Every structure is written in structure tokens, then in C-alpha cells.
């Protein structure tokens, strides 16, 4: 019994660390929609900073006492780091597709620890400082007494002061965060921002401020975890990353949203981890990574039990993740092939006649990586899934090839065998086959998950393989690994770097051709169809199961084949050659150069393999062509951390563009050409529109009052497509302007420009005569502009009362709203997403009735509503108009709109074609607006 209690108590302590980390992850996901894979990197950076402050001056540190050092690290450094990361990274990722959000934070996993270690090393070199670095065993004292105090709870069960502090910190942080998110204005605004970011701005929420605060709080939690963890584990980036990844099981147990459950889940993971290890069968006791693998097994189980299809769309990515336009669109076939031809010829000439054996060997390593990186093009570029298990397939391929070429067989077939051993090429093909089977197993979660959940599932499987399967002596051939000598293929000796490079170049070209044919085949089109819409794909006879599994199987086969050659150029092949963390680095490198293009993958492999040597050459060769680079800069480049920093931040910068560096120039040229083409207009229609609107504008200003809202020659659009072409429109206080037009006329775009959701390309937006074109959306909302958007203006995950509280912070105001709308009062604690369409529209307009704005912009308020509800909504609009509110009513239902309008404006293809009193809006003008019939 004492052994059981001891395991539980020590498990609660390690679980408390998971609980702190999980709380920070839940906070950022709940408030920004970003799952921060780099949370552990922030913890490492804070712990590293704390160590520098606390280390005695005799050892190179600052010598600051423990408590001030901890407070400065946790309450100053960590929040400041969170604020900086929000400003430069997370704020841009908040509106990015899910793929970009995952890859962006994975890039930070690689870059931030490397930046910390590089900064200390180079400060020591350049300024002759003696700051301690990670080459030392870094384990600073804890936050409790030194030396630590120990208490005996039961016979054989003890607890020390450091462990109690960890547990107290976890409980306190979870409680404070829960109170902040559930019972403060900040918590309400942050949850609204992640629920519907644009709508939150329309309700006066400064989403950038709430984002900064939430990331500062999250970084503070990460820093707290790092500092309390420091005396228990050595401060290494790998330790912190693995501990953070292990805490993902608690986050999933919490459904990615519940802080109390994240706390409980973290404790449970720690306890289960200890109990499983303590009572494990003898065969597993000697497996080094067994204890580390337990949380990842729990993560995989939690994904199936607690998430299901709740996070991410099965099979690939969310609908917003449509592939971007091809920057090579319109180029003839020869122009697309020319870069490949020139690169092949150039590389062949360089390897055969210019490079020495060292550089030829680096090219061979780069081509091996290029072959491996082609697997990302299949699974991510084509399949749209973020797989974090590609390094696992490489290790499987390397171990398979090593096992086959190192075992004697009783019979020998000359075609397959050589002196009783498998020929290397046969072993390489077998490696691809075995890896594809493993890939099929790894792909099974894609039948249930998509997006983030699928990425977490592949991460869990990668670390289970890394820490458990590949640690078995029978699999890895003990610590010595599998030796795979360079084979002799007929007259070709692959032991020669030049020969190996040419063989690999041929394989890379075949792989690129395979991917090209796959992308243009019926199978590739089926994968893209399922990626875009599974329902639509099913109706055309496409099998979603096959379309989801196929990219994983093919990518695993490519990675496995690459793993066989990887084992040759990195012989012996051990379990540390291609760990799961290295797979994350490979992903960031491929994304930097272009994960959708085979050329990007090959270039990424060559650059990744040669960059350390190139940087070393820059640092050590003082002559031409580097003479112009200052000596301090050249010395700073001489570090293994520099490539990690470059590739990590490169992936962060280019995560939103899967064509990477290859598309930058071509993409800019394409956008410029389309913008020029879009400038053409219909002169006849523009002239007629200008005359009609100008005459109406004169009538609308006869009383001398400035319009409450006015648009003057506004041009706006999305991407390269201009939607509004010089729109003029004015709305006065106490007046309702009905904006009518067919679907696609640009009415909703006009509303978004008025509210500030879309910046105009030209023209002015005026509020009471003041130009507000540069005013943020939330400030326009606070200034009295209320937009009821199309498709309901409610936050589905917030309750009815919380929806009202965003616009009516005073409890009395909400009580008056419930008094006027008893239907809402009956559902005050119900999530707004569960209301009917009519009830949601009532909830949208109720705050405006209780606290009337200066301007109400109602975009299709009766869309999809029953006639009786439509009548009720229109009476609310009339009431607001009669109270002095300037109303812009956007509608397709002309009859209902004309009943409440004072002024009518017709819109057609991005232009206001006529504005006038309601009495002059005759049938011919209606026909012209809705049917495109020219009025005579």
C-alpha cells in the first residue's frame, strides 16, 4: 500500500506541472483559437532567463536572490515575451487557416529555444561575458527553502517543499484563470473574440488588446511552469518540449476549453503515468522511454474518447483552407519544366566536376532529405493534413533496410539476395512497403479527426514510436543501431559521394514526377474533392475513406524509401538519428520553401543539409566574397542554432503561403496583373450612376445637417477582386435608407466597409462629417455604430445573457431587455447557438433597442425568417428610426423594406445606381435593380 501511495503522491506532483502547462494551453485556445505547440518553448525561455539571473556571479550569472529572480522571470520577462509574440506572430495567426496556425507555432518550437541558446553563446563570444549556457547541467534551486524541507505523510511516503510549491502553483493558477475567464469582463470579451472575432469587434471589443492580455497570461503560466519545474528537471529545450507535449493529454481531456478539467486532467495524467510505470510488466521496465510514452498513449485515447469529430474536419482541414491560387497558372508546359532542367544540369555539373568529396557528400545528404521532404508535399500539400509523424516513417524505413541487409537467410535468389543477404535496393523497396503499412495505421485517426485533432494524433503516434517502440533492443539493435554500408549496384559504387548523389538525384526526379502525375490524376482530384467537401465528394461516387488514407500511405512509402537511403548516409541507423522532434524541424523547413511543390521540398532538403557548412564558411573565411561582412556578424553566424532560428522563423512567416519562397515573386506579379485588369469599368453605367446619385446627394443635404453615416466614392474588395466601384451613399438621423439589390450586388461588402471590417481601397467613410476610414472597428462600435450582420449577430457559444452583456454591461439594462423580451428571459442561461433563427435575430437587435446607437446598419435582418417574425423585426427597425437612429436597411425583400424606408437606394454590381424618396421607387427601377433590366 505504501508503494501505491508513494506513486500517487509523486504522480500528483508531476501532474501538477502538466496541469499548469495545460491551463496555459486551454487559455490561449479558448481566447484565440490557436493551439500553441510552442508553449513549452516559452517555459524554457523563462526558466533559462531565471537561471541566468539566479546563478552566482562566480559562475557567470547575475547573482540575484531566488525570489526576486523568480518574480522578475515570471511576472516581467514571461508576460513581455507573450506580448512580443502576440504582436509579431499570434495576432497574424488568429485569422489564418488552421494549417497556418499549427505550422506557425511549430516553427516557434524550433526557433525560440535556439534563439535563447544562440544569444547567450554569442554574447559570451562577442562581449567576453561568462553567462552559463546549456552545455552545463542547469538545475537552479526551487522557490522554497534551501535546502528543501521534507515531510513524511505516511510510512514510506514523503513530500518536499519543492513538490508542495508545484502543487500549490498549479491549483492557484487554475483557480485564478477560471475566475478571470468566467467572472470578469476581460474573460467575456476574450471568449467572444474567439467565438466570432469580427462580431466581437462590432460589439466594441478591442480584440487586439484582449489577445495581448490572454497571451501575456498564458506566457506567465508557461513561465511559472518553467521556474517551478527547473529544480526538478534539467533546463533543456527538449525536456521542456516533451513535458509540454505530454500535457496535451490533459488539454484534450478538458475538451480544449475547460480550465477546471485541465487541472484535474493534468493531475490524472501524472498519477496514471506513475502507476503504469510502477506496476509495468518486467519486459517494459528496461525500456528507457516507457514512462515518457505513457502520456502520449493517454493523448491518443483522449482524442478518441473526448474529442471525436469535435475539433477539425475529418480527413483534412477546415473549409477555409482552400489551396491558394497557383502562381504558375497560365505558364506553358516548357516554362514549368525549364527550372527542373536547369537545376538538374547545374547540380550534375557541380557534383561531377566542381565539388570535392565533402560538398558532394553534403549534396547527397540534401537529396536524401529532399526525397524525404517530398512526403510532406503528398500528405500536406495535396492531402491538406498536418502530419507530425514523418520522422517516424523515416526511422521505420531505416530500421527495416538495416535489419534486412544485416541478417543471413537460408536460401539465396541472385535477383534478391547477395551472399545470403538482401540486396540494398530490395531492402529499400521493402522499407517503403513496411513504412506504407505503418502509414496506413497512422492514417486511421484521419477517418475520425481532421485539422488540429489529426495533428495531435500523429504527434502522439510519433512519440509513442520514438519513446517506446524504437527503444526496444530487438528493434533498434541495442544502442549500436543498424549498420547499412553503401551498396555496390553493378558498376556503380554508392560509397562514392558523386555516384550516390547521381542515384539520389534520379530518385528525386522520379519522386517529383510521381507527385506531379498524382496531383493531376483522378485520384489526386478525388483527394482534393474530399478535402474541400466530403458531402459533395460522396454524391459524385468518391470514397472519402480511400481519399483520406491514400495520401498518408503514399507519403509514408516515400519517407520510408528515403529512410533506407538516410540510413546509408548516416550509418549506423539508431533511434536518435530521426527523432520525432527532428520531424518537426523538417516540417518547418519544407514549409519555408514550399510544401505544395516538389521543387520546394527538394530545395529545402539541399539548403537544410548545406546551410551549416555555408554559415561556417562565412564565419571562418575572412577573404572574398565575405570581406564586406563585419567580423562580429560573421562570428555570430557560426552556430548550429542559426539554421534552426532561420528555418523556424521562416516557417512562421510563410505558414500562410504553402508555396513558400518559391511563390513570393510569382505571386506578386500575378496579383499586380489582376489588379490592373480589375480597373476596367463600364463607362456608360458609371456615367448614369454618377448623375443619379449626385442629384440625390444634393437633396439629402438641403437641411444643412451632416449625415450620420456617409460613403463618398468608396472602392473596396477582397484580395484582388474589387467589389465596390466608387459608391456614394448618405444616411441621416431619424431616417431609414433601404439598400436594395440582387444577391452579389455588393450590399454586405458596403456594410462591412461602413463598420470598418473591410478597409476601403479609395474614397471616404464619414461619421457625422468626420472621416473614420482609419478608425478601428471596435472604436466605431463604441462611437455609436451598430451593425446587425447577415446570418445573425450572436455568439453561439455564449449564453443569451452573456451576449447581452457585451453591449449592456449594466445588469439593470439586461433586466429591462428580459422584461421586454420574455422569450429571451426564459433562455437566459442557454447558449445562443441553440436559439431559433427568429430568436437569434431578436437577441441581435435587443441591445440596440435598450441602448439605441447613432447608426444602425441591418444587413438582411429578415433572411430566412417566417412572416410573423419578419413583421416583428421590421417593427423594431421602425422603432429605432422613430427614436432618431439613422438606419441603413439592407434587404432583398423589397416589399418589407419599402414599408419602413424613407429613402431607397438601388445597388447593382458594386454601384449605387439610383437613390431617391420611397415614393419614386417604382416597379421599373425595382426591375432594373433585381433583374438587370435597363430603365429608360
pLDDT for 929: 55
Compute the average pLDDT of residues 104-133: 85
pLDDT for 318: 36
> In the predicted model, is pLDDT for residue 98 greater than 70?
yes
pLDDT for 137: 54
**What's the rounded Cα separation, in Å, for the pair 454 and 387?**
8
Q: pLDDT for 518-538, tens place per residue?
A: 988 998 889 888 887 777 788
- To the nearest 10°, the Cα dihedral for 299, 300, 301, 303? 80
* Joined grid coordinates for residue 863: 433572411
Nearest to 385 by CA among 326, 297, 432, 447: 447
CB 251 within 8 A of CB 22: yes
pLDDT for 922: 65
Tell me the three-class secondary structure of 781-839, residue by residue: HHCCEEEECCCCCCCCCCEHHHHHHHHCCCHHHHHHHHHHCHHHHHCCCCEHHHCCHHH
Burial of 209 (0-12, 13-18, 19+ CB in 10 A): middle
Q: pLDDT for 441-496, tens place per residue?
A: 988 887 877 788 889 999 999 999 999 999 998 899 988 899 999 888 777 888 89
pTM of the predicted model as reported, rounded to 2 decimal places: 0.84
**What's the rounded Cα separation, in Å, for the pair 870 and 874?**
6
Q: β-strand 903-908 against 911-917: which pairing, if any? A: antiparallel
What's the chain's Rg over C-alpha atoms? 32
Q: How confident is the model at residue 712 (pLDDT cuts 50, 70, 90)?
A: very high
CB 367 within 8 A of CB 505: yes
> In the predicted model, is pLDDT for residue 34 greater than 50?
yes
Compute the average pLDDT of residues 199-211: 90
Q: How confident is the model at residue 690 (pLDDT cuts 50, 70, 90)?
A: very low
The DSSP secondary structure of 57-106, one letter per residue, reads GGGTS----HHHHHHHIIIIIHHHHHHHHIIIIIHHHTTS-HHHHHHHHH
Compute the average pLDDT of residues 840-845: 88
CB 237 within 8 A of CB 113: yes
* Alpha-carbon distance values, 904 to 657, 661, 861, 891, 901 (Å): 43, 50, 17, 11, 7
Compute the average pLDDT of residues 258-264: 89
CB 845 within 8 A of CB 876: yes
* Joined grid coordinates for residue 290: 516507457
> In the predicted model, is pLDDT for residue 125 greater than 80?
no
Q: How confident is the model at residue 921 (pLDDT cuts 50, 70, 90)?
A: confident
Place of cell 522520379: 510
pLDDT for 928: 59
* Cβ contacts of 187 within 8 Å, gap of 6 or more: 180, 181
* Cβ contacts of 424 within 8 Å, gap of 6 or more: 401, 405, 484, 487, 489, 494, 564, 568
pLDDT for 416: 58
Q: How confident is the model at residue 278 (pLDDT cuts 50, 70, 90)?
A: confident
Q: pLDDT for 138-156, tens place per residue?
A: 666 667 777 788 888 777 7
CA angle 394, 399, 403 (to 5 degrees): 155
Q: How confident is the model at residue 317 (pLDDT cuts 50, 70, 90)?
A: very low
Helix 598-620 to helix 580-593 angle, to the nearest 10 degrees?
A: 100
pLDDT for 313: 39
CB 588 within 8 A of CB 353: no
Question: Minimum mean pLDDT among 406-415, 880-889, 899-908: which range?
Answer: 406-415
Q: Which residues pair with 177 in a beta bridge?
A: none
Q: How confident is the model at residue 695 (pLDDT cuts 50, 70, 90)?
A: very low
**What's the rounded Cα separation, in Å, for the pair 757 and 524?**
37
Q: How far is CA 529 from the centre of its chain?
A: 22
Amino acid at each position: 500500500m505504501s508503494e501505491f501511495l508513494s506513486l500517487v503522491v509523486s504522480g500528483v506532483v508531476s501532474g501538477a506541472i502538466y496541469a499548469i502547462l495545460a491551463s496555459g494551453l486551454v487559455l490561449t485556445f479558448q481566447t484565440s483559437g490557436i493551439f500553441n505547440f510552442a508553449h513549452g518553448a516559452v517555459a524554457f525561455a523563462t526558466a533559462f532567463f531565471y537561471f541566468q539571473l539566479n546563478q552566482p556571479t562566480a559562475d557567470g550569472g547575475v547573482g540575484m536572490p531566488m525570489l526576486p529572480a523568480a518574480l522578475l522571470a515570471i511576472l516581467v520577462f514571461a508576460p513581455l515575451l507573450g506580448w512580443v509574440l502576440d504582436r509579431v506572430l499570434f495576432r497574424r495567426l488568429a485569422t489564418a487557416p488552421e494549417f497556418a496556425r499549427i505550422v506557425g507555432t511549430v516553427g516557434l518550437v524550433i526557433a525560440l529555444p535556439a534563439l535563447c541558446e544562440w544569444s547567450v553563446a554569442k554574447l559570451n563570444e562577442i562581449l567576453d561575458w561568462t553567462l552559463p549556457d546549456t552545455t552545463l547541467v542547469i538545475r537552479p534551486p526551487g522557490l522554497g527553502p534551501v535546502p528543501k524541507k521534507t515531510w513524511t505523510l505516511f510510512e514510506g511516503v514523503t513530500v518536499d517543499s519543492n513538490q508542495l510549491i508545484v502543487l500549490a502553483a498549479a491549483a492557484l493558477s487554475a483557480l485564478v484563470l477560471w475566475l478571470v475567464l468566467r467572472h470578469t469582463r476581460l474573460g467575456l470579451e476574450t471568449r467572444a473574440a474567439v467565438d466570432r472575432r469580427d462580431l466581437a469587434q462590432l460589439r466594441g471589443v478591442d480584440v487586439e488588446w484582449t489577445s495581448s492580455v490572454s497571451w501575456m497570461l498564458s506566457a506567465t503560466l508557461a513561465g511559472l511552469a518553467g521556474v517551478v519545474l527547473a529544480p526538478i528537471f534539467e533546463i533543456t529545450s527538449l525536456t521542456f518540449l516533451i513535458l509540454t507535449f505530454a500535457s496535451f493529454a490533459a488539454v484534450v481531456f478538458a475538451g480544449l476549453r475547460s480550465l477546471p478539467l485541465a487541472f484535474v486532467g493534468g493531475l490524472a495524467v501524472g498519477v496514471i503515468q506513475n502507476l503504469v510505470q510502477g506496476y509495468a510488466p518486467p519486459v517494459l521496465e528496461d525500456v528507457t522511454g516507457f514512462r515518457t510514452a505513457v502520456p502520449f498513449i493517454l493523448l491518443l485515447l483522449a482524442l478518441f474518447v473526448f474529442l471525436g469529430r469535435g475539433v477539425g474536419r475529418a480527413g483534412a482541414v477546415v473549409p477555409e483552407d482552400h489551396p491558394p491560387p497557383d502562381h504558375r497558372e497560365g505558364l506553358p508546359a516548357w516554362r514549368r519544366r525549364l527550372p527542373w532542367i536547369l537545376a538538374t544540369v547545374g547540380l550534375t555539373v557541380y557534383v561531377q566536376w566542381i565539388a570535392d568529396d565533402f560538398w558532394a557528400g553534403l549534396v547527397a545528404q540534401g537529396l536524401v532529405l529532399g526525397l524525404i521532404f517530398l512526403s510532406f508535399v503528398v500528405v500536406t500539400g495535396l492531402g491538406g493534413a498536418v502530419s507530425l509523424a514523418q520522422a517516424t516513417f523515416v526511422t521505420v524505413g531505416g530500421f527495416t533496410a538495416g535489419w534486412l541487409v544485416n541478417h543471413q537467410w537460408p536460401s539465396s535468389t541472385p535477383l534478391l539476395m547477395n551472399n545470403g543477404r538482401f540486396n540494398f535496393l530490395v531492402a529499400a523497396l521493402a522499407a517503403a512497403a513496411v513504412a506504407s503499412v505503418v502509414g496506413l495505421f497512422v492514417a486511421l485517426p484521419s477517418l475520425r479527426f481532421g485539422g488540429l485533432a489529426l495533428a495531435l494524433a500523429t504527434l502522439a503516434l510519433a512519440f509513442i514510436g520514438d519513446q517506446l517502440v524504437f527503444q526496444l533492443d530487438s528493434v533498434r539493435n541495442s544502442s549500436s543501431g543498424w549498420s547499412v554500408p553503401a551498396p555496390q549496384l553493378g558498376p556503380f559504387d554508392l560509397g562514392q559521394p558523386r555516384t550516390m548523389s547521381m542515384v539520389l538525384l534520379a530518385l528525386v526526379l522520379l519522386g517529383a514526377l510521381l507527385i506531379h502525375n498524382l496531383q493531376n490524376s483522378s485520384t489526386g482530384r478525388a483527394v482534393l474533392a474530399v478535402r474541400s467537401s466530403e458531402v459533395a465528394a460522396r454524391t459524385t461516387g468518391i470514397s472519402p475513406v480511400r481519399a483520406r488514407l491514400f495520401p498518408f500511405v503514399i507519403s509514408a512509402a516515400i519517407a520510408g524509401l528515403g529512410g533506407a537511403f538516410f540510413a546509408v548516409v548516416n550509418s549506423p541507423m539508431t533511434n536518435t538519428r530521426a527523432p520525432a522532434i527532428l520531424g518537426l524541424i523538417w516540417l518547418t523547413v519544407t514549409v519555408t520553401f514550399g510544401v505544395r511543390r516538389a521543387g520546394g521540398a527538394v530545395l529545402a532538403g539541399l539548403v537544410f543539409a548545406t546551410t551549416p557548412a555555408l554559415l561556417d564558411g562565412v564565419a571562418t573565411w575572412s577573404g572574398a566574397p565575405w570581406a564586406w561582412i563585419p567580423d562580429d556578424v560573421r562570428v555570430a553566424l557560426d552556430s548550429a542554432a542559426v539554421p534552426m532560428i532561420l528555418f523556424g522563423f521562416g516557417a512562421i512567416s510563410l505558414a500562410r503561403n504553402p508555396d513558400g519562397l518559391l511563390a513570393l515573386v510569382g505571386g506578386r506579379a500575378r496579383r499586380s496583373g489582376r489588379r490592373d485588369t480589375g480597373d476596367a469599368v463600364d463607362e456608360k453605367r458609371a456615367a448614369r450612376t454618377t448623375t443619379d446619385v449626385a442629384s440625390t446627394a444634393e437633396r439629402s443635404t438641403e437641411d444643412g445637417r451632416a449625415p450620420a453615416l456617409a460613403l463618398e466614392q468608396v472602392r473596396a474588395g477582397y484580395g484582388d477582386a474589387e467589389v465596390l466601384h466608387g459608391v456614394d451613399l448618405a444616411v441621416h438621423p431619424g431616417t431609414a435608407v433601404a439598400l436594395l439589390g440582387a444577391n452579389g450586388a455588393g450590399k454586405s461588402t458596403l456594410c462591412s466597409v461602413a463598420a470598418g471590417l473591410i478597409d476601403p481601397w479609395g474614397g471616404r467613410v464619414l461619421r457625422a462629417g468626420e472621416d473614420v476610414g482609419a478608425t478601428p472597428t471596435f472604436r466605431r462600435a463604441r462611437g455609436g455604430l451598430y451593425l446587425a450582420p447577415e446570418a445573425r449577430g450572436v455568439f453561439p457559444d455564449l449564453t443569451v445573457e452573456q451576449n447581452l452583456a457585451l453591449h449592456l454591461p449594466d445588469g439593470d439594462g439586461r433586466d429591462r431587455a428580459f422584461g421586454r423580451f420574455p422569450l429571451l428571459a426564459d433562455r437566459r442561461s442557454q447558449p445562443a447557438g441553440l436559439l431559433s433563427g427568429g430568436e437569434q435575430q431578436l437577441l441581435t437587435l435587443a441591445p440596440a433597442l435598450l441602448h439605441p446607437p447613432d447608426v444602425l446598419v441591418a444587413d438582411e435582418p429578415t433572411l430566412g425568417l417566417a412572416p410573423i417574425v419578419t413583421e416583428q423585426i421590421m417593427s423594431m427597425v421602425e422603432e429605432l428610426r422613430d427614436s432618431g437612429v439613422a438606419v441603413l436597411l439592407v434587404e432583398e425583400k423589397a416589399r418589407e423594406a419599402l414599408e419602413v424606408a424613407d429613402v431607397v437606394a438601388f445597388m447593382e454590381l458594386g454601384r449605387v445606381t439610383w437613390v431617391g424618396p420611397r415614393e419614386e421607387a417604382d416597379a421599373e427601377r425595382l426591375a432594373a435593380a433585381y433583374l438587370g433590366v435597363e430603365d429608360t
